[in-house]
Structure 1
Amino acid sequence: MLAAAAASLDAMSTLNLETASRLIAAGQETARELGVRVHIAVVDPAGNLVAFQRMDGAWLGSLDVALRKARTSALFPVPSSMIGEMSQPGGPIYGVESTNGGLVSFGGGLPLATADGAVVGAIGVAGGLVEQDVAVAEAATKAL
Protein backbone atom coordinates (compact mmCIF):
# COMPACT_ATOMS: atom_id res chain seq x y z
CA MET A 1 0.00 0.00 0.00
CA LEU A 2 2.81 2.44 0.89
CA ALA A 3 4.66 1.37 -2.24
CA ALA A 4 1.62 2.33 -4.33
CA ALA A 5 1.50 5.73 -2.67
CA ALA A 6 5.23 6.25 -3.31
CA ALA A 7 4.81 5.17 -6.94
CA SER A 8 1.95 7.61 -7.41
CA LEU A 9 4.06 10.30 -5.76
CA ASP A 10 6.90 9.68 -8.22
CA ALA A 11 4.51 9.74 -11.15
CA MET A 12 2.94 13.03 -10.08
CA SER A 13 5.97 14.68 -8.46
CA THR A 14 3.58 16.20 -5.97
CA LEU A 15 2.62 15.46 -2.41
CA ASN A 16 -1.04 14.57 -1.95
CA LEU A 17 -3.13 14.17 1.19
CA GLU A 18 -3.20 10.37 0.99
CA THR A 19 0.59 10.13 0.90
CA ALA A 20 1.01 12.75 3.63
CA SER A 21 -1.45 10.85 5.84
CA ARG A 22 0.50 7.62 5.33
CA LEU A 23 3.74 9.35 6.31
CA ILE A 24 2.09 10.68 9.46
CA ALA A 25 0.78 7.21 10.35
CA ALA A 26 4.27 5.73 9.96
CA GLY A 27 5.73 8.47 12.13
CA GLN A 28 3.11 7.96 14.82
CA GLU A 29 3.85 4.23 14.91
CA THR A 30 7.50 4.99 15.66
CA ALA A 31 6.54 7.65 18.21
CA ARG A 32 4.41 5.08 20.05
CA GLU A 33 7.32 2.61 20.01
CA LEU A 34 9.53 5.33 21.53
CA GLY A 35 6.86 6.23 24.10
CA VAL A 36 6.65 9.83 22.97
CA ARG A 37 3.68 11.99 21.92
CA VAL A 38 4.40 14.28 19.01
CA HIS A 39 2.99 16.64 16.45
CA ILE A 40 3.70 15.76 12.82
CA ALA A 41 3.37 18.28 10.00
CA VAL A 42 3.72 17.60 6.28
CA VAL A 43 4.11 20.59 3.95
CA ASP A 44 4.54 21.20 0.22
CA PRO A 45 7.75 22.71 -1.25
CA ALA A 46 6.54 26.24 -0.44
CA GLY A 47 5.97 25.31 3.20
CA ASN A 48 2.17 25.21 2.93
CA LEU A 49 0.46 22.65 5.12
CA VAL A 50 -0.71 19.42 3.44
CA ALA A 51 -1.49 17.40 6.59
CA PHE A 52 -1.03 17.71 10.33
CA GLN A 53 -1.76 15.52 13.32
CA ARG A 54 -1.24 15.94 17.04
CA MET A 55 -1.03 12.81 19.14
CA ASP A 56 -3.16 12.87 22.28
CA GLY A 57 -1.21 14.40 25.13
CA ALA A 58 1.48 16.06 22.98
CA TRP A 59 2.73 19.34 24.40
CA LEU A 60 0.72 22.23 23.00
CA GLY A 61 3.83 24.38 22.55
CA SER A 62 5.33 21.83 20.19
CA LEU A 63 2.60 22.36 17.59
CA ASP A 64 4.21 25.49 16.17
CA VAL A 65 7.66 23.91 16.38
CA ALA A 66 6.59 20.96 14.19
CA LEU A 67 5.13 23.31 11.59
CA ARG A 68 8.27 25.46 11.57
CA LYS A 69 10.59 22.44 11.32
CA ALA A 70 8.67 21.23 8.28
CA ARG A 71 8.63 24.69 6.74
CA THR A 72 12.37 25.12 7.36
CA SER A 73 13.18 21.86 5.55
CA ALA A 74 10.82 22.75 2.70
CA LEU A 75 12.20 26.23 2.07
CA PHE A 76 15.82 25.11 2.52
CA PRO A 77 15.64 21.45 1.41
CA VAL A 78 18.05 20.06 3.98
CA PRO A 79 17.48 18.62 7.46
CA SER A 80 16.56 21.40 9.89
CA SER A 81 19.60 20.40 11.98
CA MET A 82 21.87 21.38 9.07
CA ILE A 83 20.42 24.89 9.19
CA GLY A 84 21.39 24.91 12.87
CA GLU A 85 24.97 23.94 12.09
CA MET A 86 25.33 26.67 9.45
CA SER A 87 23.57 29.39 11.44
CA GLN A 88 25.87 29.41 14.45
CA PRO A 89 27.62 32.73 15.25
CA GLY A 90 30.25 33.22 12.57
CA GLY A 91 28.54 30.67 10.31
CA PRO A 92 27.71 31.32 6.66
CA ILE A 93 23.99 31.89 7.34
CA TYR A 94 24.09 33.26 10.88
CA GLY A 95 20.69 34.71 11.80
CA VAL A 96 18.72 32.87 9.12
CA GLU A 97 16.31 31.43 11.68
CA SER A 98 14.77 34.89 12.09
CA THR A 99 13.79 34.99 8.40
CA ASN A 100 10.72 33.62 6.62
CA GLY A 101 8.47 34.18 9.62
CA GLY A 102 10.76 32.14 11.88
CA LEU A 103 12.65 28.95 11.13
CA VAL A 104 13.75 26.14 13.42
CA SER A 105 17.42 25.28 13.47
CA PHE A 106 17.49 21.96 15.30
CA GLY A 107 16.59 18.40 14.34
CA GLY A 108 13.18 17.04 13.46
CA GLY A 109 12.59 18.57 10.04
CA LEU A 110 13.43 16.62 6.88
CA PRO A 111 12.85 17.28 3.19
CA LEU A 112 10.73 14.79 1.24
CA ALA A 113 11.93 13.78 -2.22
CA THR A 114 10.89 11.40 -4.97
CA ALA A 115 13.16 8.57 -6.13
CA ASP A 116 14.60 10.89 -8.81
CA GLY A 117 15.47 13.53 -6.19
CA ALA A 118 12.67 16.04 -6.81
CA VAL A 119 11.78 17.72 -3.51
CA VAL A 120 8.01 17.52 -3.03
CA GLY A 121 7.77 18.89 0.49
CA ALA A 122 9.00 18.29 4.00
CA ILE A 123 8.02 16.77 7.33
CA GLY A 124 8.42 18.28 10.77
CA VAL A 125 8.13 16.46 14.09
CA ALA A 126 8.12 18.00 17.57
CA GLY A 127 7.18 16.93 21.06
CA GLY A 128 9.96 14.61 22.13
CA LEU A 129 13.66 15.10 22.64
CA VAL A 130 15.39 16.20 19.45
CA GLU A 131 16.76 12.69 18.90
CA GLN A 132 13.25 11.25 19.22
CA ASP A 133 11.81 13.82 16.83
CA VAL A 134 14.51 12.96 14.29
CA ALA A 135 13.84 9.22 14.66
CA VAL A 136 10.11 9.76 14.06
CA ALA A 137 10.75 11.99 11.03
CA GLU A 138 13.23 9.49 9.57
CA ALA A 139 10.76 6.62 10.02
CA ALA A 140 8.08 8.64 8.26
CA THR A 141 10.35 9.48 5.31
CA LYS A 142 11.23 5.79 4.90
CA ALA A 143 7.53 5.16 4.33
CA LEU A 144 7.76 7.42 1.26
Structure 2
Amino acid sequence: MKKYLFICGLLGGAAWAGAAQDSADVAGQVLPASGSAAQAFLPLSQATLIVDAVEAAAVSRGLKLVISIVDAHGNLKIFRRMDGSSSGSVQVSIDKALTSARFPVSTRALAARSNDLPANPYASIPGFLLLGGGLPLFDLSKSHIGGIGVSGATPELDEICAQAGVDLLLEPINSTRAES
Protein backbone atom coordinates (compact mmCIF):
# COMPACT_ATOMS: atom_id res chain seq x y z
CA MET A 1 0.00 0.00 0.00
CA LYS A 2 2.86 2.38 0.85
CA LYS A 3 4.47 1.64 -2.52
CA TYR A 4 1.16 2.44 -4.27
CA LEU A 5 0.79 5.76 -2.41
CA PHE A 6 4.41 6.66 -3.17
CA ILE A 7 3.92 6.02 -6.90
CA CYS A 8 0.65 7.97 -6.92
CA GLY A 9 2.44 10.82 -5.15
CA LEU A 10 5.16 10.82 -7.78
CA LEU A 11 2.63 10.79 -10.60
CA GLY A 12 0.61 13.55 -8.97
CA GLY A 13 3.75 15.66 -8.56
CA ALA A 14 4.64 15.12 -12.21
CA ALA A 15 1.12 16.11 -13.27
CA TRP A 16 1.29 19.23 -11.11
CA ALA A 17 4.67 20.15 -12.59
CA GLY A 18 3.25 19.69 -16.09
CA ALA A 19 0.26 21.87 -15.26
CA ALA A 20 2.57 24.54 -13.88
CA GLN A 21 4.62 24.34 -17.08
CA ASP A 22 1.47 24.69 -19.23
CA SER A 23 0.41 27.77 -17.26
CA ALA A 24 3.79 29.34 -17.98
CA ASP A 25 2.88 29.61 -21.67
CA VAL A 26 2.64 33.30 -22.51
CA ALA A 27 1.57 34.81 -25.83
CA GLY A 28 2.39 31.71 -27.85
CA GLN A 29 5.79 31.18 -26.24
CA VAL A 30 6.64 28.10 -24.26
CA LEU A 31 9.05 28.51 -21.43
CA PRO A 32 11.34 25.48 -21.22
CA ALA A 33 11.06 23.22 -18.19
CA SER A 34 14.19 23.16 -16.11
CA GLY A 35 16.87 21.29 -18.00
CA SER A 36 14.77 20.70 -21.15
CA ALA A 37 14.33 22.37 -24.50
CA ALA A 38 11.17 24.32 -25.34
CA GLN A 39 8.31 22.14 -26.43
CA ALA A 40 6.01 22.69 -29.40
CA PHE A 41 2.93 24.73 -28.63
CA LEU A 42 -0.37 25.47 -30.39
CA PRO A 43 -1.43 29.05 -29.63
CA LEU A 44 -5.17 29.75 -29.42
CA SER A 45 -4.79 32.44 -32.10
CA GLN A 46 -3.43 29.85 -34.53
CA ALA A 47 -6.11 27.30 -33.61
CA THR A 48 -8.74 29.96 -34.29
CA LEU A 49 -7.32 30.64 -37.76
CA ILE A 50 -7.32 26.90 -38.50
CA VAL A 51 -10.98 26.57 -37.47
CA ASP A 52 -11.85 29.62 -39.59
CA ALA A 53 -10.20 27.99 -42.64
CA VAL A 54 -12.11 24.74 -42.08
CA GLU A 55 -15.39 26.62 -41.71
CA ALA A 56 -14.71 28.58 -44.93
CA ALA A 57 -14.07 25.29 -46.76
CA ALA A 58 -17.32 23.89 -45.36
CA VAL A 59 -19.36 26.96 -46.32
CA SER A 60 -17.95 26.89 -49.87
CA ARG A 61 -19.25 23.30 -50.18
CA GLY A 62 -22.59 23.96 -48.49
CA LEU A 63 -21.66 21.81 -45.46
CA LYS A 64 -22.54 22.27 -41.80
CA LEU A 65 -19.75 20.80 -39.71
CA VAL A 66 -18.46 20.42 -36.18
CA ILE A 67 -14.75 21.23 -35.76
CA SER A 68 -12.54 20.33 -32.80
CA ILE A 69 -8.87 21.04 -32.21
CA VAL A 70 -6.91 19.52 -29.37
CA ASP A 71 -3.32 20.12 -28.34
CA ALA A 72 -0.67 17.39 -28.44
CA HIS A 73 -1.73 16.28 -24.95
CA GLY A 74 -5.35 15.77 -26.04
CA ASN A 75 -6.74 18.84 -24.28
CA LEU A 76 -9.52 20.61 -26.16
CA LYS A 77 -8.09 23.87 -27.53
CA ILE A 78 -11.02 25.13 -29.59
CA PHE A 79 -14.40 23.82 -30.63
CA ARG A 80 -16.89 25.14 -33.16
CA ARG A 81 -20.31 23.78 -34.06
CA MET A 82 -21.67 25.43 -37.19
CA ASP A 83 -25.36 26.33 -37.18
CA GLY A 84 -27.46 23.46 -38.44
CA SER A 85 -24.85 20.77 -37.80
CA SER A 86 -25.81 17.45 -36.26
CA SER A 87 -25.54 17.03 -32.50
CA GLY A 88 -24.19 13.53 -33.17
CA SER A 89 -21.17 15.07 -34.84
CA VAL A 90 -20.03 16.80 -31.64
CA GLN A 91 -18.44 13.77 -29.98
CA VAL A 92 -17.33 12.34 -33.33
CA SER A 93 -15.29 15.47 -34.13
CA ILE A 94 -13.69 15.45 -30.67
CA ASP A 95 -12.82 11.74 -30.95
CA LYS A 96 -11.27 12.26 -34.40
CA ALA A 97 -9.13 15.11 -33.05
CA LEU A 98 -8.08 13.05 -30.02
CA THR A 99 -7.15 10.09 -32.22
CA SER A 100 -4.88 12.24 -34.39
CA ALA A 101 -3.38 13.87 -31.31
CA ARG A 102 -2.51 10.48 -29.81
CA PHE A 103 -1.15 9.00 -33.03
CA PRO A 104 0.22 11.68 -35.37
CA VAL A 105 -1.40 10.23 -38.49
CA SER A 106 -4.75 10.77 -40.15
CA THR A 107 -7.69 8.80 -38.81
CA ARG A 108 -8.23 7.47 -42.34
CA ALA A 109 -4.66 6.12 -42.52
CA LEU A 110 -4.96 4.66 -39.04
CA ALA A 111 -8.19 2.91 -40.05
CA ALA A 112 -6.50 1.43 -43.12
CA ARG A 113 -3.54 0.30 -41.02
CA SER A 114 -5.84 -1.31 -38.46
CA ASN A 115 -7.95 -3.03 -41.14
CA ASP A 116 -4.79 -4.62 -42.57
CA LEU A 117 -3.89 -6.22 -39.23
CA PRO A 118 -5.48 -9.34 -37.76
CA ALA A 119 -8.46 -8.54 -35.50
CA ASN A 120 -8.45 -4.82 -36.42
CA PRO A 121 -6.60 -3.92 -33.17
CA TYR A 122 -6.97 -0.12 -33.19
CA ALA A 123 -10.75 -0.45 -33.34
CA SER A 124 -10.77 -1.83 -29.80
CA ILE A 125 -8.92 1.11 -28.22
CA PRO A 126 -11.40 3.22 -26.21
CA GLY A 127 -11.82 6.76 -27.52
CA PHE A 128 -10.29 6.02 -30.91
CA LEU A 129 -12.31 6.80 -34.00
CA LEU A 130 -11.18 5.19 -37.23
CA LEU A 131 -13.09 7.34 -39.66
CA GLY A 132 -11.74 9.97 -42.06
CA GLY A 133 -11.79 13.57 -40.85
CA GLY A 134 -9.09 13.54 -38.20
CA LEU A 135 -5.66 14.96 -39.05
CA PRO A 136 -2.55 15.62 -36.99
CA LEU A 137 -1.26 19.17 -36.68
CA PHE A 138 2.45 19.95 -37.03
CA ASP A 139 4.28 23.25 -36.67
CA LEU A 140 6.82 24.50 -39.22
CA SER A 141 9.60 22.57 -37.48
CA LYS A 142 7.52 19.39 -37.96
CA SER A 143 6.79 19.03 -34.23
CA HIS A 144 3.43 17.42 -33.49
CA ILE A 145 1.29 20.12 -31.83
CA GLY A 146 -2.17 18.55 -31.83
CA GLY A 147 -5.00 17.14 -33.86
CA ILE A 148 -8.06 18.37 -35.70
CA GLY A 149 -11.33 16.50 -36.02
CA VAL A 150 -14.13 17.41 -38.41
CA SER A 151 -17.53 15.74 -38.59
CA GLY A 152 -20.89 16.36 -40.19
CA ALA A 153 -20.47 15.26 -43.80
CA THR A 154 -19.01 12.09 -45.31
CA PRO A 155 -15.62 11.05 -43.91
CA GLU A 156 -14.05 12.06 -47.24
CA LEU A 157 -15.56 15.57 -47.15
CA ASP A 158 -14.73 15.93 -43.46
CA GLU A 159 -11.09 15.19 -44.28
CA ILE A 160 -11.03 17.61 -47.23
CA CYS A 161 -12.29 20.41 -44.97
CA ALA A 162 -9.88 19.46 -42.17
CA GLN A 163 -7.06 19.60 -44.72
CA ALA A 164 -7.95 23.25 -45.40
CA GLY A 165 -7.01 23.97 -41.79
CA VAL A 166 -3.82 21.93 -42.00
CA ASP A 167 -2.88 23.78 -45.19
CA LEU A 168 -3.11 27.04 -43.27
CA LEU A 169 -0.23 25.84 -41.07
CA LEU A 170 1.85 25.36 -44.24
CA GLU A 171 1.20 28.83 -45.68
CA PRO A 172 4.50 30.32 -44.48
CA ILE A 173 6.29 27.40 -46.19
CA ASN A 174 4.22 27.83 -49.37
CA SER A 175 4.76 31.60 -49.52
CA THR A 176 8.52 31.11 -48.92
CA ARG A 177 8.64 28.61 -51.77
CA ALA A 178 6.71 30.94 -54.06
CA GLU A 179 9.21 33.76 -53.39
CA SER A 180 12.26 31.61 -54.25
* TM-score, normalised relative to structure 1: 0.86
Question: Would you tell me which structure has more helix in proportion to its own residues?
Answer: 2
SS at match of 1:56: coil
Residue 115 of structure 1, CA deviation? 1.5
1:18-72 CA-to-partner distances (Å, cap 9, x unmatched) read 1111100010000000111000000011211000000000010011000000000
Which ranges in structure 2 are unaligned for 5 or more consecutive residues?
Answer: 1-27, 30-37, 170-180
Residue 95 of structure 1, CA deviation? 2.7
2:151 equivalent to 1:112: no
Residue 92 of structure 1, CA deviation? 6.1
SS at match of 1:42: strand
Which ranges in structure 1 are unaligned for 5 or more consecutive residues?
Answer: 1-7
Which of 92, 95, 104 does residue 121 from structure 2 map onto? Answer: 95
**Structure number with bigger Rg:** 2
1:116-138 CA-to-partner distances (Å, cap 9, x unmatched) read 21000010000011111011100
Distance 2:119 2:149 in 1: 21
SS at match of 2:165: helix
Matches within 5 A, 1:1-144: 13-88=40-115, 91=117, 94-99=120-125, 101-144=126-169
Amino acid in the other structure paired with 2:44: L
Does the Cα contact within 8 Å between 2:111 and 2:122 map onto a contact in 1? no
SS at match of 1:87: helix
Distance 1:64 1:98 in 2: 17
Residue 98 of structure 1, CA deviation? 2.8
Amino acid in the other structure paired with 1:54: R
Residue 12 of structure 1, CA deviation? 7.1
Change over 3 Å in CA distance of 1:42–1:92 after alignment to 2: farther
* TM-score, normalised relative to structure 2: 0.70
Report how many residues are paired. Answer: 134
Percent identity over paired residues = 37
SS at match of 2:150: strand
Residue 93 of structure 1, CA deviation? 7.7
Does the Cα contact within 8 Å between 1:34 and 1:132 map onto a contact in 2? no
Residue 142 of structure 1, CA deviation? 0.9
Distance 2:59 2:133 in 1: 16
Distance 2:39 2:111 in 1: 32
Does the Cα contact within 8 Å between 1:125 and 1:136 map onto a contact in 2? yes
Q: Over the residues paired in the alignment, what is the CA RMSD in angstroms? A: 1.8
